[in-house]
Amino acid sequence: MRIGIDFDNTIICYDKVFAAVARQRGLVPEGWVGLKTELRDLLRSRAGGELAWQGLQGFVYGKGIGGAEIYAGVREFLASCREASASVYIVSHKTQFGHQDPERVDLREAARGWLKGAGLIDVADAALASGNVYFEDTLAAKVERLASLQLDIFIDDLVDVFEQPRFPKATRSILFTQSRHPHPEHCEPIATWADISRGVFAQ
C-alpha cells in the first residue's frame, strides 16, 4: 500500500500558534481564541486584512512553526502504516518563502525541522524516510507529484486538491475535515485520525 499525506493542517495543526501570534501582534483582542480558518476570515474582513494575514502566515509557517502541534492520532496512524509495511509520502503545496516575510525564512526547511523535531524523519525508527517528503510550488505540481507516486490513498484537508483535473481517479481520496458541508462524491470526509486509521486499516 502506498499512502500520501498533505502536511499543513493535516499532519501539523497551527490553530493555537496562529491565535497566539495574532494576539501578540494586536490583530485580535487579548484572550481571543479560535481556529486558523476563523482568524483568516476575521482578518480578511478588514481593510488591509489580506496583507496582515499573509504576514502572519509567513511568520507562523517559518520562525513560529515550533509552536505548532501534531494532530492527535497521526503517530498512531503512522505506526499502523509501519506494521502494514505501507510506504508513506508527504506531498505538500508549500512555497520556499512566505508572502510578506521580510526575513525570507525558508519555509520548507522550517517544515523539515519541525518533522525532525516531532520524530517523524531523520531519527531512529522514524515514521517517514526523509526522501519521501515533497514540497511543490503550485497546486498543479503537487497533484503531478502525487500522481507520479501512484498512490493508493491520499489524505488532505483541502477539497481543491481532489478537484484538480489531473488528480488520479484511482487514488482513494480522504478529506480530513470536521465540516458538515456537502463534499464531492469522490471524497471521503473523515474528522479524526483515529477514524482515518479505522477506515484504512479496518481496525
CA 119, 123, 128, 129 torsion-angle sign: positive
How confident is residue 203, by pLDDT bands cut at 50, 70 and 90?
low
Residue with cell 491520499: 154
**What is the pTM for the complete model shown?**
0.92
User: What average pLDDT does the structure give for the chain?
Assistant: 92
CA 78, distance to chain mean position in Å, is 15
pLDDT per residue as tens digits for the range 23-81: 999 999 998 988 888 999 999 999 988 999 988 988 999 999 999 999 999 999 999 99
pLDDT per residue as tens digits for the range 179-201: 777 788 889 999 999 999 999 99
- How far are the Cα atoms of 133, 150, 201 from residue 163, in angstroms, in the given order? 22, 17, 25
* 3-state secondary structure (DSSP) of residue 129: coil
